[in-house]
Amino acid sequence: MKNYLILSIFFITGLTGLAYELIWIRLLILSFGSTQFAITTVLSIFMAGLALGSIIFGRVVDRYGSPLRVYAAIEIILGLYCLLSPLIFSTAREIYLSLAPATGDGVYRAWFEPVHFITAFIVLIIPTTLMGGTLPALVKYLASFPGRIGYHTAVPYAVNTLGAVTGCLATGLFAIYYIGINATVYLAGIIDIFVGIILFTLFSKGPAAVQLREEVEVPAPLPFEGIGSLRRLNLILISAFTISGFCSLAYEVLWTRVLSLVLGSTVYAFTIMLATFLAGIGLGSIAFAPFVDRLKRPVLWFSILEAVIGFFAIASIFLYRELPFIFFNLRELFADRFWLFLLVEFLLASSLMIVPTLSMGAIFPLVNRIYSRGATQSIGKKVGDIYFFNTAGSIFGSAAAGFLIIPMIGVQNGVVLIAGLNILICLALLFISGTTRALKLVCSALFVAGFAVVTIMLPPWEKMAMTMMSTIWIQRTAPLRTGA
């Protein structure tokens, strides 16, 4: 029963965490501008803090006897920071503007980008580092009970992600507009402080529920073939998971670009797109949780999931040319029913994202199960390590998609490129999966041939349809906004 309460708390802190992210990004964009560089810079710093927190607190919770007390301390400090954040961000904005006065000199403005980065880094690095420490703390606590490490990773990861979905929808669709930015962040900060106090109260006496049993780490038997050492396996695993993180955030940027051309660039549309992406990851993790520890060849499953992501991502391109027409017809039916209209946006976003994001959500607990090798004493460090490298890959994926892929080769070719990376990850993992040589060769040939055939069959990018939808949005969103 106590575990259900803790998971409920983790759901709530996932909600408040996404509320912070949306509000802080909004405040910084208002100060720095809404250019692609500004948005990507802020998002990169946010994710960098999460990565840093995971690797720092992953080691802290392994050394400290009560991971839930660490979690409680994180939430209280985070809540206090958030209560002060309107003042902190206002001060940062004044400092930034004093260093970067308005000017028509393009060269002078370019010099100011380091100031932009440093200002955002200073105000975001502390709270985001604290946020990054929550998952290793909770997994460390759950791993103290007899059971399955993969399951104990999947459940809190899913619960927190689904909490983030709720926070995204609640903040983007309601809170900012009905109670305002400052009131929203104050409410979220109070909730985090209250949650931290509850955790301290529950676990202030006795270490029984959270003190790990003293035991020797016995690696779980995993049938790998062709691996010279565990170190080599870990290197391949971490490299694959880092590149997988790169692909995931690159997809998010690319899909958001496609959908923004169809659904529009309103706050509502962006909220729906982000919520859909997160929902797929959370549902994939929770759906895979009962099976992750029973798999006899987990590396093979990692390989299969990467192939699923790549093939469904490239197959989604066939929908691109149809989306504008589908959306236009549905918009005519539901334009006067705002919430049904949002449901239509969610369904269209899901048509592109749902299968790949479900697979992305299943991969995280699977990789932790492989990497941890049954160890419980160092599980905080293990979770922190894989979360750090996956998030680091995500940072580069987001930046690469926004700054290089879209400007240089376009969205559709970008999806093909990233899907190709997924297939390469699949092939690399397949050859260390412990399957027979014949099966490896046959599957590799099928994957490569299938990817080549689908790529050749892809329809051209419908430039006219996409630009027409942008024009229609400019001309016709006024009635919808009135109806909202």
Q: Which CATH number characterizes residue 375's domain?
A: 1.20.1250
Note whether 204 and 319 are same-domain residues: no
pLDDT at 249 over 50: yes
CA 274 to chain centre: 9
Residue 285 shares a structural domain with residue 405: yes
205 and 233 in a single domain? The answer is: no
What was the pLDDT predicted at 265? 67
| CA count, 13 A, side-chain hemisphere, 297 | 15
Looking at 169, 184, 213, the residue that finishes a domain is 213
Among the three residues 192, 213, 234, which one is the final residue of a domain in this structure?
Answer: 213
pLDDT band at 431 (very low <50, low <70, confident <90, very high): confident
- Shared-domain flag, residues 204 and 280: no
Q: What is the pLDDT of residues 337-387, one digit of tens each?
A: 777 777 888 888 888 899 999 999 999 999 988 888 766 667 788 888 899
The separation between CA 419 and the C-alpha centre of its own chain, rounded to angstroms, equals: 18
pLDDT in tens, 140-165: 888 766 557 888 888 999 999 999 99
Instruction: Report the distance separating Cα 95 and Cα 79, nearest Å.
Output: 24
Number of domains in the chain: 2
Confidence of residue 470 (pLDDT cuts 50, 70, 90): low
Whether residue 50 sits in one domain with residue 95: yes
| Averaged pLDDT for residues 283-309 | 91
Nearest-angstrom CA–CA distance, 98 and 65: 47
CA pair distance 442, 438, nearest whole angstrom:
6
**What pLDDT score was predicted for residue 203?**
75
The answer to whether position 478 is within a domain reads yes
3-state DSSP assignment of residue 326 = helix
* Cβ atoms of 162 and 282 closer than 8 Å: yes
Q: Report how far residue 477's alpha carbon sits from residue 3's, in angstroms, rounded to the nearest whole number.
A: 47
Q: Where residue 177 sits, what CATH number does that domain have?
A: 1.20.1250.20
- pLDDT value of position 23: 87
pLDDT of 91 reads: 86
Higher pLDDT, 390 or 1: 390
Q: Are 53 and 128 in contact (CB under 8 A)?
A: yes
Do residue 254 and residue 339 come from a single domain? yes
**For residue 295, what is the enclosing H or E element?**
none
Q: What letters, b where the CB count within 10 A reaches 16 and e where it falls short, cover 133-159? A: bbbbbbbbbbbbeeebbbbbbbbbbbb
Do the beta carbons of residue 404 and residue 253 sit within 8 Å? Answer: no
Determine, yes or no, domain membership for 108.
no
Percentage of the chain exceeding pLDDT 70: 82
218 Cβ contact partners less than 8 Å away, ≥ 6 residues apart: 374
Residue 197 confidence (pLDDT): 93
Which tens digits make up the pLDDT trace of 442-453?
Answer: 989 999 999 999
52-59 mean pLDDT: 91
Same domain, 134 and 260: no
More confident residue, 383 or 246: 246
Q: Which domain holds residue 164?
A: 1-101+113-213
Euclidean distance between CA atoms 294 and 305, whole angstroms? 16
Mean pLDDT of 209-221: 43
Of 77-81, 120-124, 335-339, 434-438, where does mean pLDDT reach its minimum?
A: 335-339
What six digits make up the tokens of 62?
């392994």
Residues sharing a CB contact under 8 Å with residue 63, sequence separation 6 or more, in sequence order = none
CA neighbor of 21 nearest in space, from 159, 133, 154, 181: 181
pLDDT bin (cut points 50, 70, 90) of residue 241 is very high
pLDDT at 483: 47
- Is 302 found in the same domain as 277? yes
Q: Rounded mean pLDDT of the chain?
A: 82
Which residue would you say has higher pLDDT here, 316 or 325?
316
**Which of 213, 245, 265 is the last residue in one of the domains?**
213
Per DSSP, the three-state class of 63 is: helix
User: Is residue 218 one of the residues assigned to a domain?
Assistant: no
The one-character DSSP state at 290 is T
Closest CA to 376 of 71, 54, 52, 146: 146
Task: Find how far residue 242's CA is from the centre of its chain.
Answer: 13
* Domain assignment of residue 167, yes or no: yes
Does residue 428 share a domain with residue 328?
yes
- 167 and 299, same domain (yes or no): no
pTM listed for this prediction: 0.86
Which residues, 6+ apart, have CB-to-CB distance to 226 below 8 Å? 431, 432, 434
- Residue 295 pLDDT: 85
CA nearest neighbour of 415 among 450, 455, 444, 466: 455
DSSP 177-209: HHT-HHHHHHHHHHHHHHHHHHHHHHTSS-STT
Residue 119 is assigned to a structural domain of this protein: yes
Q: What stretch of H or E contains 32? A: helix 2-32
Instruction: Specify if 219 maps to a domain.
Output: no
CB 49 within 8 A of CB 127: yes
d(CA 322, CA 334): 18
Asked whether residue 107 is domain-assigned, the answer is no
Co-location of 203 and 256 in the same domain = no
What's the Cα-to-Cα distance from 201 to each of 73, 79, 134, 392, rounded to whole Å?
12, 17, 18, 35
Is 125 a domain residue? yes
Identify whether residues 473 and 340 lie together within a single domain: yes
Q: Quick one: which of 276, 285, 281 has its CA closest to 258?
A: 276
Residue 338 makes CB contacts below 8 A (sequence gap 6+) with: 480, 483, 484
Residues 203 and 72 sit within 8 Å (Cβ to Cβ): yes
Length of the chain: 484
